[in-house]
């Protein structure tokens, strides 16, 4: 399995040029989602794309043979595609780089995506705490010091004391967004008879309410097994 992960050089663009809302902005989320969708349709056989914060992870079909599986071609093509798509959507230049992880078993693939999925939950708590402190008047150093060493539970309690229930925040902030293929039925015209016929097509589903923990692991496993079958 190949699991490319795009890591962007976007901090200057997002903070200084576009001034996205911190810690999460729907506009930025949508840019990342559409960039991930572009990576799924640019010629590679991608089973699953996962995006959280400013990162994208892709899961390739195990039988992918494009470019003779040359990693340097994958790195350059994926980074270029992501950079071009995101820049066009944003209206200013932004760049991605890419690295490849070759994972030899289903368990390792699931572990990778489970790790990314749980990482955002921890980061989301910290991000909301930090920006809550900043909005209360603390500077960067003071806000960092206030939350330093606090456990996830303690940070959630700090948010709750200020009227923010972490459990009530949008799921995409806590779990990221998954993109995968789904089949759907579509009516089309039969050119020979002029009548309507029903056909099965594929489209990308954008999932903003991903499952959690073991259920998420089973979900990723099913995606891989469906492609193998």
pLDDT, tens digit, 9 for 90 and up, residues 158-171: 999 999 999 999 99
DSSP states of 132-165 as a string?
Answer: HHHHTT--HHHHHHHHTT--HHHHHHHHHHTT--
pLDDT, tens digit, 9 for 90 and up, residues 166-185: 999 999 999 999 999 998 88
Q: How many domains does the chain have?
A: 1
| Six token digits for residue 149 | 């060493």
Other CB atoms within a 10 A radius of the CB of residue 12 amount to: 10
Please state, rounded to an integer, the average pLDDT across all residues of the chain. Answer: 89
pLDDT of residue 199: 80
pLDDT of residue 12: 58
Instruction: Give the CATH number for residue 187.
Output: 3.30.70.3000
Residue range(s) defining the domain that contains residue 37: 1-229
- Nearest of 185, 210, 208, 211 to residue 198 by alpha carbon: 185
Helix (H, G, I), strand (E, B) or coil at 169: coil
What is d(CA 176, CA 171) in angstroms, rounded to the nearest whole number? Answer: 7
pTM flag (> 0.75): yes
pLDDT of residue 16: 63
């Amino acid at each position: 399995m190949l699991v490319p992960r795009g890591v962007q050089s976007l901090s200057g663009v997002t903070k200084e040029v576009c001034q996205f809302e911190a810690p999460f902005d729907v506009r930025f989320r949508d840019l990342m989602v559409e960039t991930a969708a572009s990576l799924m349709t640019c010629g590679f056989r991608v089973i699953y794309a996962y995006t959280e914060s400013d990162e994208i992870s892709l899961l390739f079909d195990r039988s992918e043979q494009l470019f003779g599986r040359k990693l340097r071609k994958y790195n350059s093509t994926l980074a270029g595609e992501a950079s071009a798509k995101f820049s066009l959507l944003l209206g200013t230049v932004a760049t991605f780089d890419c690295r490849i992880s070759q994972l030899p078993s289903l368990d390792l693939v699931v572990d990778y995506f489970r790790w990314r999925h749980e990482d955002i939950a921890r980061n989301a708590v910290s991000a909301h705490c930090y920006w809550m402190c900043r909005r209360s008047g603390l500077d960067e150093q003071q806000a960092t010091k206030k939350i330093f060493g606090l456990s996830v539970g303690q940070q959630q309690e700090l948010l709750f004391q200020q009227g923010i229930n972490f459990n009530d925040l949008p799921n995409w902030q806590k779990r990221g967004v998954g993109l995968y293929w789904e089949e759907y039925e579509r009516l089309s015209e039969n050119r020979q008879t002029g009548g309507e016929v029903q056909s099965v097509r594929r489209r990308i589903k954008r999932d903003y309410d991903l499952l959690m923990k073991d259920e998420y692991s089973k979900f990723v496993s099913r995606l891989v097994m469906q492609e193998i079958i």
